[in-house]
Structure 1
Amino acid sequence: MEPGSPAGAGAEAPAFYSERKLSRKQLKKLAKAEREYEEERRKELEAAQAVDTAQKRELARIESILRTHALRMEYVEPDGHCLFRALVRQLRPLIQSGLFDTYFPAADTETRSALLTWSTIPDEMEAVWLLRKTLASFIRRRGTEFFPFIVGELDPQGTLLDASDDPAERVAQYCARLEDGTLWGGQPELQAVALALRCRVFVFADPEILPNGMLVMGADDASTDTGAESVTALRVSFHKQFFSLGEHYHAVVPADDSRGDARDPRISAS
């Protein structure tokens, strides 16, 4: 091939390009870029290792607290519905076995009626959506009690939501997001469950987040026992570090529950 003639299909690159030497300035620039890339990779690896270590430490501390109460975690998927799944997995067996009224005799009438429909629902996710709708209805009906909890609510990206100056409108906006699935569950929903069912809700967490590793929500006349023998109680574990996507909840059940181990196989406390 003559110099300057176009290369045909499949032709090798001209020798000029393969044999050209980089200048000293270009070599320095390339070396600097390589060092910067390696430094970024090192920082990313260190950050990932730090998160992994924090996850394991948090998990170990929570599990230690649960063991003292004869409890354990039941794994819940990180799909944006984790809190609702955790509650459904405790409520649904009671509803399907006809024990709901035994466990929650003072439950809100409308809430009871809505939850009892689960007895004919075979799909857990359908129950999750119904629980979202049921809690939204309860919060709407008692909006003044929940307004302090949702003022300044942020989405997972830190964007301010429910910015209306009208309390009723802000509650309405919040409940709409609760129903359509764009809202992750948290304190308002746990408070709603406790009030609607007239029960205690126990939230277990790392003692570095919650004093003594536990928060108790609910009716003053409900049982304060945290152990497996407590009847009128629901329990969840709160994890700040469990997943890189953000905060997470697991269900908490008696340690001798036969449904299997709760731990996510990707994370070990050891």
Structure 2
Amino acid sequence: MEEEGVENLSPQETLSAKHKKEAKELQAQIQKLKHSVPKGDKKKKKDVAAQIAILEAELEQKHEKERQELNDTSAKGVDETAEQLENLSTSVTQNASQPKKPSKAQKRKEKKAQQEKEREERIREQDIENLSGVRHLEAQKMKSILGKRKLKIFEIPSDGNCLYCAVEDQLKRKGIESSMQQLRQKASNHMREHRDDFMPFLTKPESGDPFTEDDFDNYCKELESTAAWGGQLEVRALSNVLKHPIEIIQAEGPPMLIGDEYKDDALLLSYHRHVYGLGEHYNSVIPYTESDEEEELS
């Protein structure tokens, strides 16, 4: 009986139940991490608190993305159903009145008119999305935040290597040469050498179970040898390896400073949730130039 109840849940209810389960698992993981901090060890306590904040933020971002995908799928299903009903109604009406079979010229004319109608509808929908969509809103917020600090975005390609390419760009501007692949290798090696600082924060996406030693080794291997996207754990690893703080500016929420124990100027990155269809993305952040300020005023 219980399985039947689960099968009868709507997609929204199923997703909500999944999110509740994942949130509960995260809380259990957080409690385990808190209990792992030796009494009086302030540095370890601070590091664990930072990692907990990262885990909570990443889970919320994952849930928001899944909710958006479900909403998009549901809207598409409603549109398809409405179109099917309209076609069925048209077919029934035509059969009842038994009109004359349209000529080929009439069919071509009707097809052209329908294509034009659909094109205009797509343009209208795109105009609405451009003005009120999440990408546009995020871009506007980011521009405002960066503008107040006389900063701007330096675009990085969205190919899975964006974190490392953005850090590479920041280092190059400071006269430090380190390629994207070298940064991947350094981050991977650091995580292997300090696995106790990283492995507790990684779980299997399909089950929520903690990583095993083999899981962690495979994760590090993918980090160094594929275009696997980098998250907050990789940012921490890069900060430790480079001995540089890394500041991540985001449209939703305050900037996140990782590696504040290092005294050099922070490497500046921007984090975007909606700017590309592939999902989350990092760009490099650089100062305004005089020409940028003149263009802003004109």
C-alpha distance in structure 1 between counterparts of 2:289 and 2:158, whole Å? 24
Q: Is the 8 A contact 2:203 2:210 kept in 1?
A: no
Q: Relative contact order, CA 8 A, sep 6+: which one is greater?
A: 1
Residues 242, 216 of structure 1: CA spacing in aligned structure 2 closer, same or farther, 3 A cutoff? same
What is the aligned partner in structure 2 of residue 73 from structure 1? Answer: 153
Q: Is the counterpart of residue 148 in structure 1 residue 200 in structure 2?
A: yes
Query: What is the correspondence of 1:92-241 to structure 2 with a 5 Å cutoff?
Result: 92-94=172-174, 97=175, 100=176, 118=178, 127-153=179-205, 160=206, 167-206=212-251, 209-210=252-253, 212=254, 214-220=255-261, 222-223=262-263, 231-241=264-274
SS in 2 for 1:203: strand
CA deviation profile, 1:144-188 (whole Å, cap 9, x unmatched): 1112332245xxxxxx49x88553222211111111224111111
What is the aligned partner in structure 1 of residue 74 from structure 2? Answer: none
Q: Is the 8 A contact 1:198 1:219 kept in 2?
A: no
Q: Is the 8 A contact 2:202 2:210 kept in 1?
A: no
CA deviation profile, 1:88-119 (whole Å, cap 9, x unmatched): 0111343xx4xx5xxxxxxxxxxxxxxx6x4x
Q: Is the 8 A contact 1:177 1:183 kept in 2?
A: yes
Q: Is the counterpart of residue 87 in structure 1 residue 167 in structure 2?
A: yes
Q: Is the 8 A contact 1:235 1:252 kept in 2?
A: yes
SS in 1 for 2:247: strand
Q: Is the 8 A contact 1:150 1:174 kept in 2?
A: no
CA deviation profile, 1:41-82 (whole Å, cap 9, x unmatched): 958973784267322221121121122223221111112211
SS in 2 for 1:61: helix
SS in 2 for 1:185: coil
> Which of 256, 261, 264 is the matching residue for 2:289?
256
C-alpha distance in structure 2 between counterparts of 1:181 and 1:233, whole Å? 27
- TM value normalised by structure 1: 0.57
> Which of 271, 275, 279 is the matching residue for 1:242?
275
C-alpha distance in structure 1 between counterparts of 2:279 and 2:123, whole Å? 18
C-alpha distance in structure 1 between counterparts of 2:189 and 2:290, whole Å? 32
Q: Is the counterpart of residue 54 in structure 1 residue 106 in structure 2?
A: no
Work out which of the two has the higher radius of gyration on C-alpha atoms and give 1 or 2.
Answer: 1
C-alpha distance in structure 1 between counterparts of 2:290 and 2:202, whole Å? 35
C-alpha distance in structure 1 between counterparts of 2:276 and 2:173, whole Å? 27
Q: Which amino acid is 2:95 matched to?
A: K
Tell me the percent identity.
24
CA RMSD of aligned residues (A): 3.9
Q: Is the 8 A contact 1:195 1:219 kept in 2?
A: no
SS in 1 for 2:224: helix
Residues 256, 167 of structure 1: CA spacing in aligned structure 2 closer, same or farther, 3 A cutoff? farther
Residues 165, 200 of structure 1: CA spacing in aligned structure 2 closer, same or farther, 3 A cutoff? closer
Residue 246 of structure 1: how far off its partner (Å): 1.2
SS in 1 for 2:268: strand
Q: Is the 8 A contact 2:250 2:271 kept in 1?
A: yes
Q: Which amino acid is 2:163 matched to?
A: L
C-alpha distance in structure 1 between counterparts of 2:155 and 2:128, whole Å? 23
SS in 1 for 2:197: helix
More helix by share: 2
C-alpha distance in structure 1 between counterparts of 2:290 and 2:196, whole Å? 38
What is the aligned partner in structure 1 of residue 71 from structure 2? Answer: none
- TM value normalised by structure 2: 0.52
Residues 74, 177 of structure 1: CA spacing in aligned structure 2 closer, same or farther, 3 A cutoff? same
Q: Unmatched 5+ residue regions in structure 1?
A: 1-22, 29-33, 101-115, 119-126, 154-159, 224-230, 262-270
